[in-house]
Amino acid sequence: MTRKTDFLVIGSGLAGLSYALKVADKGKVILLSKTKLEETNTRYAQGGIAAVTYSPDSHKKHIEDTLICGDGLCNENIVRKVVSEASAQILELISWGAKFDKKPDGHFDLAKEGGHSEHRILHHKDNTGYEIQRALTEQVIQHQNIEILDHYFAIDLLTQHHLGVPVARHQDDITCFGIYALNIRTNQIETILSKTTLLATGGMGNIYQTTTNPEIATGDGIAMVYRAKGIIENMEFVQFHPTSLFNPTQRPSFLITEAMRGFGAILRTKNGKEFMYKYDKRQSLAPRDIVARAIDTEMKISGDEYVYLDATHLNAEKLKAHFPNINTKCLELGINITTEFIPVVPAAHYLCGGIKVDTNGCTTIRRLYAIGENSSTGLHGANRLASNSLIEAIVYAESAASHTIENVSAYENQKNIPAWNDEGTSHNEEMVLITQEYKELQAIMTNYVGIVRSNLRLKRAFDRLEIIYSETEELFDKSVVSVNICQLRNAINVAYLTIKMARRRRESRGLHYTIDYPQRNKLSKL
C-alpha cells in the first residue's frame, strides 16, 4: 500500500504533536506513533518546562545557566534563540489547554532545578509531561487534517538510494521522499510518500540497562538518518539522571524529580552522611553530570547499590502536595517520603546529541526535519540544563513548521519508489537471538560507556559491539521485518555512534567523563 501526504510527522511526543498542530491548517498531515499515541518520553516528564516569566529572572540569567551547564559546547546563538522564544511557546501550550500550577496570587508557581540560578520551571504538580501530552493529544485527535497512524513503525527513510542512485555519506543533495513503515496490526509494510518529513522519535535510553525512558526510546530516528547517510553529532553526551528510584525489578526506572532537590531534599550515603559538599559548592543542586558522577563515586567507594534522597526535614503536607505521584509511587513500595529516606541511583535519561540540524530544524538531508530529543540543535552542548528539553522541542516545532510551510509548495510526492523488498526473508523463529543481543548491548553500554569511561573500556565496547552488529545485520537480512529486530538494529546503530564519538573526544567534558583525560576547568560562576 502507498499513502501520500504533504507533511509526514514521525513521533507523537511534544515535538511531533506541536509541529503537527502548527502545520495542519496548511495541508494534509500523517502522524505516526510506534505504539499508542500517548506512550512517549514526554508523558513521563516530571519537573517541568523552563522559561523566563518574572523578574528577578531574566533571559540573560537563563542563557548564562544554559551555557555554564553545556561546558563550552553550546551554540550561544541557539541558546539565545530558545530562551527568548520560550515564553511565546508557553502561551501556545496554554492556548492548547495545558495547565501549569499557579500560586494564590495568580502567578506561576515556579520550581528550581540543578544548574538554574532562579526559580523558572513551570510545572503541573510532578507530572508536567502527562499534562502536556494530554492537552496536545486532545487537540491532534480533533484536527480534521491530521491522520493518526498509531502502532505504525517507521523502518527507513526513502531517498535516491531507493531509485537506484548511489548515495555517499554526507553528500549534500540527499533528499527524503518519505518512509517505509510497518503497520504493526496487519504486519504489512507500507510506503508513505511525503513532500516533507519530520523526525520527532525521541531518545535512546534503552541502550542502557537502567533508564528512565519508556521502551519506545531506542534511537530509531537517529539510526534512520545515519543509514540514509545524513550527519549525526555529539552522541557521546548521554545524560544520566542522578536520582531514579532504586527498584531493580522495574523498567523503566521511576524518576524522582530534581525539583525535589530544588524543594530542599538532600542526598546522603546509605549510612546517612551528606556527601555533595565534597564535589561542588552547589551541593545537591549542582548540574546533573556532577551529581550523577558524585553518586557513582560514592557507590563505588562504599560498594552500596544506592544512595538516599532525604526529604524528611521538609514540611510534610507541602511535600505531598508538590509531589503527589512520587508520594503515591513510594507508598506503594512501602516508603513514606515524609519520614523515610528514598533509595536512588543514576539512570540513563537524555541524549544531548543526535541528528544535526540548523536553526529551522533542517537536517543535512533535504526535505527532512528533526526536532525534539532526536535532534542536535546546539542548545545543550556537553550537558543539558534541567527542563530545557521540553522547551527546546516546542521552540523548534515553531521554527520547523514556519520553514516547512514556506517551502512545501515547491515539492511534489516522488514517483517510482519501489515497494519494500522482502525477497529471501522468512519468519524469524529465534526470538531468543534478538533478546540476547539486546541484553548484551545494554551490558556493553552500561559497563563500558556509562557515567565514567576510559580509552580501554571504549575500545572493548567497540570490539564487542562489532560482533553483535554483524550478527544482527545478517539476521535482519534474512528475517521478515518485525519491530523487535528493527529496534535492536537501531539500538546497535546509535550505540555504535555513541562509542565512536566518545572515542574521538580526547578530553573530559560535560557528560563525557573519562579517567584518561583530566577534566577541563569548567566555566563556573563559583
- Choose which of 202, 353, 450, 510 interacts with ligand FAD (CB under 6 A): 202
d(CA 261, CA 290): 14
Q: Sketch the per residue contact string, 340 through 379, with ligand FAD: x for CB under 6 A, - otherwise.
A: ----------x---------------------xx------
Minimum CB distance to ligand SIN smaller for 125 or for 457: 125
d(CA 14, CA 200): 9
Report whether 256 contacts 326 (CB < 8 A): yes
Minimum CB distance to ligand SIN smaller for 220 or for 373: 373
Positions 4 through 63 that interact with ligand SIN (CB under 6 A): 46-47
Q: How far is the CB of 27 from ligand SIN (least distance, A)?
A: 33
Name the closest residue to ligand FAD (Cβ).
Answer: 13
End-to-end CA separation in angstroms for the chain: 60
Q: How far is the CB of 392 from ligand FAD (least distance, A)?
A: 8
Report whether 79 contacts 360 (CB < 8 A): no
Answer yes or no whether residue 130 interacts with ligand FAD by CB under 6 A.
no
Q: Sketch the per residue contact string, 362 through 391, with ligand SIN: x for CB under 6 A, - otherwise.
A: ------------------------xx-x--
Report whether 352 contacts 392 (CB < 8 A): no
Torsion of CA 375, 381, 387, 388, to 10 degrees: -60
| φ, ψ dihedrals at 314, nearest 5° | -90, 160
Answer yes or no whether residue 128 interacts with ligand FAD by CB under 6 A.
yes
d(CA 6, CA 110): 39
- Grid cell at residue 379: 542548545
Positions 45 through 64 that interact with ligand FAD (CB under 6 A): 45-49
d(CA 423, CA 480): 9
Q: How far is the CB of 458 from ligand SIN (least distance, A)?
A: 25
Which of ligand SIN, ligand FAD, none binds 11 (CB below 5-8 Å, type-dependent)? ligand FAD
Exposed, middle or buried: residue 475 (CB in 10 Å: 0-12, 13-18, 19+)?
middle
Q: How far is the CB of 124 from ligand SIN (least distance, A)?
A: 12
- Choose which of 65, 109, 258, 310 interacts with ligand SIN (CB under 6 A): 258
> Catalytic one among 288, 367, 457, 509?
288
Minimum CB distance to ligand SIN smaller for 376 or for 387: 387
Residues in the chain: 526
Best CA proximity match to 84, nearest among 61, 52, 112: 52
- Choose which of 22, 28, 42, 378 interacts with ligand FAD (CB under 6 A): 42
Answer yes or no whether residue 137 interacts with ligand SIN by CB under 6 A.
no
Contact segment (CB under 6 A) with ligand FAD among 32-40, 281-289, 411-419, 422-430 equals 32-40
Q: Within its chain, how far is the Cα of 276 from the centroid?
A: 27
Q: Sketch the per residue contact string, 313 through 352, with ligand SIN: x for CB under 6 A, - otherwise.
A: -------------------------------------x--
DSSP letter at 87?
H
489 catalytically annotated: no
- How would you label 351-361 residue by residue, b for 16+ Cβ within 10 Å and e otherwise? bbbbbbbeebb
Q: Which residue has the cell 567534558?
A: 509
d(CA 244, CA 249): 13
Q: Which residue has the cell 574521538?
A: 504
Answer yes or no whether residue 393 interacts with ligand FAD by CB under 6 A.
yes
Q: How far is the CB of 228 from ligand SIN (least distance, A)?
A: 29
Question: According to DSSP H, which parts of 229-385 are helical?
Answer: 258-262, 288-302, 316-322, 324-332
Residues near ligand SIN, by CB under 6 A: 46-47, 257-259, 350, 386-387, 389
Residues near ligand FAD, by CB under 6 A: 10-16, 32-35, 40-42, 44-49, 128-129, 152-154, 200-202, 212-213, 216-217, 220, 255, 350, 372-373, 387-390, 393
Catalytic residue numbers read 288
